[in-house]
């Protein structure tokens, strides 16, 4: 794991082990009758929340006792096509890179296998009081590496 799946690859869904389906609600579409762009960050957040559950470290309980917390420091969204009211979307997440104190998630939003949205979110582990970075907790690193290698949540 660690290589991005190109948007035009034959099966971009295959790059993601975590897929969470959701239905577009009426309140999420704008006057153009498409999902308002800001909602895709909320969809990303839902995907990351489900990722934590899948690896066996639901947030925030999974970070308890580590002396740190995760802070989003960068979000990127690339729009390829629009989603509409009542469509079923697959929110996909994979850990693309683990650094010393940071982690990068590749994000994908698909409709019937077509990639509508690609992006990434970078989180940094930091002391909640001082907001200074600290190494990723070993239990988090191991859970992510195990999951991305095809193992089950511990």
pLDDT digits 0-9 by tens, 118-130: 999 999 999 999 9
Q: Where are the alpha helices (DSSP H) in the chain?
A: 39-54, 138-148
The pTM of this model reads 0.88
pLDDT digits 0-9 by tens, 20-51: 999 999 999 999 999 999 999 999 999 999 99
| Dist CA 84 CA 137 (whole Å) | 39
Burial class of residue 78, CB neighbours in 10 A (0-12, 13-18, 19+): middle
Q: For residue 91, what are the β-bridge partners?
A: 20, 109
C-alpha distance from residue 4 to each of 20, 67, 105 (Å): 19, 31, 10
């Amino acid at each position: 794991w660690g290589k991005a799946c190109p948007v035009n690859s034959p099966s971009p869904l295959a790059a993601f082990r975590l897929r969470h389906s959701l239905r577009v609600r009426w309140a999420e579409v704008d006057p153009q009758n498409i999902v308002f762009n800001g909602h895709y960050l909320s969809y990303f957040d839902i995907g990351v929340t489900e990722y934590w559950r899948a690896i066996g470290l639901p947030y925030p309980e999974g970070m308890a006792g580590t002396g740190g917390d995760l802070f989003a420091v960068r979000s990127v969204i690339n729009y390829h096509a629009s989603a509409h009211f009542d469509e079923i979307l697959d929110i996909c997440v994979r850990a693309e890179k683990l650094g010393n104190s940071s982690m990068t998630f590749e994000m994908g939003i698909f409709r019937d296998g077509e990639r509508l949205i690609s992006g990434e979110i970078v989180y940094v582990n930091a002391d909640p009081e001082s907001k200074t970075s600290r190494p990723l907790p070993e239990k988090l690193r191991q859970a992510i590496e195990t999951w991305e290698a095809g193992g089950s949540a511990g």
